[in-house]
Amino acid sequence: MTSREIRKQFLDFFESKGHLIVPSAPLVAKNDPTLMFNNSGMAQFKDFFLGNGTPPSKRIADTQKCLRVSGKHNDLEDVGFDTYHHTMFEMLGNWSFGDYFKKEALAWSWELLTEIYKLPKDRIYVSVFQGDEKDGVPFDQEAWDIWKAIVGEERIILGNKKDNFWEMGETGPCGPCSEIHIDLRDADEVALKSGKELVNADHPQVVEIWNNVFMQFERMADGSLVPLPSKHVDTGMGFERLCMAIQGKQSNYDTDVFQGTIKLIADKAGKVYGQDKWTDISLRVIADHIRAIAFAIADGQLPSNNKAGYVIRRILRRAVRYGYTYLGFREPFLHSIVPLLSEQFDGVFPELISQQDFVAKVILEEENSFLRTLENGLKLLDKITVDLKANNQTVINGEQVFELNDTFGFPVDLTALIARENGLSIDEEGYKAALQAQKERSRKDASTSAEDWVILQEVDKIEFVGYDEFETVSSVVKYQKVQNKQGTQYKVVLDKTPFYAESGGQVGDKGTISFGGVAIEVVDTKKENDLIVHFISDKRFESLVSDEPVKASIDLARRKLTNNNHTSTHLMQAALKQVLGSHVNQKGSLVNNEILRFDFSHFQKVTDEEIAQVEEIVNQKIRENIPLVEERNVPIAEATSRGAMALFGEKYGDFVRVITFDKNYSVELCGGTHVPATGNIGLFKIITETSVATGVRRIEAVTSEKAFEILREQEAILDQLNQLLKAPKDLVKAVASLLEEKNALAKKIEVFEQEKLQATKERLLNKIVSYGSINAIIEVVEVGSADALKQLAYELKAKVGDLYCVLGAEIAGKPQLAVMIADNLVAEKGLNAGQIIRELAKEVKGGGGGQPFFATAGGSDVSGLAKAIEKGKTFVNA
Ligand code: ATP
Ligand code: MG
């Protein structure tokens, strides 16, 4: 069975059991402060388990792109070394939201594995939660009884809290789970030792393939467990491991999921998979990592220097490094795997094939820059190595290893490897200490804590009314006291609110919530999962809050300015497509009351003319005063057929909100707020155009009041210029002729300087003092520049044999010194201009240096000049 068929069979099976099949959520987690990347199938349904919102069906199944490289689940360091953990993998899952429970879930998983996939029954083991006295959670008798009837007691293993009890977080839904393990060893090995003993023992061929989680409790902040009113099922099966089992392989990488990529990379490197340990590890690392990188970029997460972007950058660098060290790649290679990968996932995760070129270009650029980093790091390491050897030392200290990694992106294990090759080692303890110190620093920065939610009323649904209302009577549903960077804050949820929560690039509203007569300020509004959370810093909140009605009012002036910028973003995106081409796709945006920022795919700088055209079109659309057409419930297929573009990496429901300004000009899927008609914007002005990443440009622009302010500032600058130049008829001409005049004068001065220099030279030639065989010229002179002083010294050297010359001058208020010594004197008398000048420079509070025959110095104390010159005599006067 091919992997494509295996995936399809899973979805077909659960569809036949009444499940709704839904698409995978993007790899990059949105609106969840606790998660950077989706790391399990349930992540996109978290809200339903928390009781916020209702699922589209009580039974759902899908395949979810997961990434386990940060936070609670981090498998990165194992990937490539073992054969069954990936960074990105597909998790097949089925869910029951308050519908079926253990009996059906376990029976179906058995049916699918043994009847449909025909996996051998005598190679399967299952686990059941043994209970935990300290936690007050009982043994899972129910699961035990169900499995006993299906597989018999001898195939059941009891599991502890670590392996068999699942919790969403420190608080929230939790419950026992039951894992399914499979023994894939050869028959003769099985004969020697029972698979049962190898379950959960990190054996590469006795692996967990499926986990069934039964959510039946809620963990409270005080640690106690409360039974959930409706119970849920959440299952996750590793697709690549399943393929290994069904295809009779002993490694995920031997399945058709990975073999194509491995072959491609091996061919490029001129290697063969399966012959050498480090070659194989590297091929696995690369075949794995390219998937994580490509899908993260396709889902909108570009590699960058912080947060999720940095995680992706590190994965990419890990792949490049293994290729560099073990496969001999000196040129970028990862990007060339993208076409094969996108073909493999065509029809499964279409986001890759439709952005193939973009993804490959981003990867290529990252590879190039990291290969440069690697080379720079190697140079630095060379230097460290040479220094150490010179001092007879053999250990690179921990701080240096840390710095190489942290500042130069140079991986620790590569440092260790190169050290070994040079007969050195690294101070691992010291490195760990430095790393730990940094972790402490960042933990301090991010430390937060939260108390339990205080619930004032049960509601089915939170309503956002802020498209139509700006002041609303509502009531508090629940609130939570938290400690974060802002200090103590209250997170407040209302049953109905006009406050727009930050999303789609638009900032959250500010405003007030009034309790009785007292208005309390709302400092920000954010989405957390599906809740609209109002942030309040005012401590009076706690004494005012009750279940009485409150009045929620947004800061309308601020909202209106934000609307101007949001609508302008739409108008500008359409204009960019007209001017630059249809490849322009949104890659990020920020809209607030001051500015709009828009990132989009485009591979060159946007020229001044193109910027002018975009401004022209947008302002034209503003003058046309096009009315807003807002539709709140358009089926997604209809919206896209009307030309609205769905953003990659964004999750949409079946019905979407469509914002249109002239159906032939701008149609977008958008949840944000907008002006009633474009005329409200008044004026649109682009202020910067820059690059943010390979293939991604950023434009910042301002509108209405802000745009007008900028024009006024520019006018003021022109006014000042006009006044300075005494109001000429033509300002540009006036400045141009001023520059011309300045250049002509500069030339004239140059001629005068030269004449003066020659005169000075003649004068000095008459002042030669002899000290034995030495001809000394030791004088303060008048010259216009340090260069002129140097020229003078050289010309004297050309004219006078056996010269010892010390010159000083005051140039633009600062002392300047030069020492020139004939080559034969340097050789015979041991005179050294570089050493002498350092002594002289002390007199003028300065420093300098040079060669034995010529040196210069500058200083800060002109009053010492005469003394410095006097001192110059002492070197020949002896
Ligand atoms: P393991 O102990 O093997 O790391 P897990 O306990 O972390 O697995 P779960 O969180 O229960 O796994 O995830 C459900 C299923 O997803 C697992 O049974 C396994 O098949 C699969 N899985 C988990 N982590 C990975 C990974 N890094 N790569 C591939 N598949 C994975
Ligand atoms: Mg794990």
The pair phi, psi for residue 104, each rounded to 5°, is -65, -45
Ligand number nearest CA of 210 is: 1
- C-alpha of residue 656 to centroid of ligand 1, in Å: 34
What is the model's pLDDT at position 444?
Answer: 65
- Our answer on whether the CB atom of 163 is closer than 6 Å to any ligand 1 atom is no
End-to-end CA distance of the chain: 99
- C-alpha of residue 166 to centroid of ligand 1, in Å: 13
pLDDT digits (tens, 9 = 90+) for 313-337: 989 999 998 999 899 998 999 999 9
What is the model's pLDDT at position 837?
Answer: 94
Q: Which atom of ligand 1 is nearest to the CA of 207?
A: 3
pLDDT digits (tens, 9 = 90+) for 603-631: 899 999 999 999 999 999 999 999 999 99
Identify the band that residue 529 occupies on the pLDDT scale cut at 50, 70 and 90.
confident
Q: From atom 19 of ligand 1, which residue's Cα is the shortest distance away?
A: 238
Residue 802 and residue 650: Cα distance in Å, rounded? 81
- Our answer on whether the CB atom of 68 is closer than 6 Å to any ligand 1 atom is yes
pLDDT digits (tens, 9 = 90+) for 258-269: 999 999 999 999
pLDDT digits (tens, 9 = 90+) for 574-591: 999 999 998 898 989 999
- Measured from the Cβ of residue 274, the count of other Cβ atoms closer than 10 Å reads 13
Residue 443 has pLDDT above 80, yes or no: no
pLDDT digits (tens, 9 = 90+) for 87-138: 999 999 999 999 999 999 999 999 999 999 999 999 999 999 999 988 888 8
pLDDT digits (tens, 9 = 90+) for 474-498: 999 999 999 888 889 999 999 999 9
Tell me the pTM. Answer: 0.68
Residue 251 has pLDDT above 90, yes or no: yes
From 211, 253, 285, mutation site for ligand 1 pocket: most ligand atoms within 8 A of C-beta: 211
Residue whose entry in the numeric block shows the structure tokens 């509004």: 525
More confident residue, 592 or 405: 592
pLDDT over 90 percentage in the chain = 75
- Our answer on whether the CB atom of 662 is closer than 6 Å to any ligand 1 atom is no
- C-alpha of residue 630 to centroid of ligand 2, in Å: 46
pLDDT digits (tens, 9 = 90+) for 770-812: 998 999 999 999 998 999 999 999 999 999 999 999 999 999 9
Single-letter code of the amino acid located at 664: N
Listed in sequence order, the residues at least 6 apart from 767 whose beta carbon sits closer than 8 Å to its beta carbon are: 777, 779
Q: Which of 235-239, 660-664, 826-830 has the lowest mean pLDDT?
A: 826-830
Residue 441 has pLDDT above 80, yes or no: no
Q: Which of 92, 95, 115, 108 is nearest to 19 (CA)?
A: 95
- Our answer on whether the CB atom of 75 is closer than 6 Å to any ligand 1 atom is yes
Rg (CA), the chain: 37
The torsion region of residue 213 among left (phi > 0), alpha (psi -120 to 50) and beta comes to beta
Residue 824 has pLDDT above 80, yes or no: yes
Q: Which atom of ligand 1 is nearest to the CA of 79?
A: 27
- Our answer on whether the CB atom of 236 is closer than 6 Å to any ligand 1 atom is yes
What is the model's pLDDT at position 693?
Answer: 82
Q: From atom 14 of ligand 1, which residue's Cα is the shortest distance away?
A: 236
Ligand number nearest CA of 91 is: 1
More confident residue, 418 or 233: 233
Residue 685 has pLDDT above 70, yes or no: yes
From 89, 166, 182, 240, mutation site for ligand 1 pocket: most ligand atoms within 8 A of C-beta: 89
- C-alpha of residue 89 to centroid of ligand 2, in Å: 12
- Our answer on whether the CB atom of 91 is closer than 6 Å to any ligand 1 atom is yes
DSSP 390-405: HTT--EE-HHHHHHHH
pLDDT over 70 percentage in the chain = 99
Q: Which of 531, 533, 532, 535 is nearest to 522 (CA)?
A: 535
- Our answer on whether the CB atom of 234 is closer than 6 Å to any ligand 1 atom is no
- Our answer on whether the CB atom of 598 is closer than 6 Å to any ligand 1 atom is no
Identify the band that residue 256 occupies on the pLDDT scale cut at 50, 70 and 90.
very high
Residue 363 and residue 236: Cα distance in Å, rounded? 30
- Our answer on whether the CB atom of 299 is closer than 6 Å to any ligand 1 atom is no
Q: What angle do CA 263, 264, 266 make, to 5 degrees?
A: 65
- Our answer on whether the CB atom of 859 is closer than 6 Å to any ligand 1 atom is no
- Our answer on whether the CB atom of 240 is closer than 6 Å to any ligand 1 atom is yes
What is the model's pLDDT at position 446?
Answer: 58
Residue 595 and residue 612: Cα distance in Å, rounded? 18
Residue 653 has pLDDT above 90, yes or no: no
Residue 32 has pLDDT above 80, yes or no: no
- C-alpha of residue 238 to centroid of ligand 1, in Å: 6
Q: Which of 298-312, 399-413, 504-518, 711-725 has the lowest mean pLDDT?
A: 399-413
Residue 878 has pLDDT above 60, yes or no: no
Q: From atom 26 of ligand 1, which residue's Cα is the shortest distance away?
A: 85
Q: From atom 31 of ligand 1, which residue's Cα is the shortest distance away?
A: 238
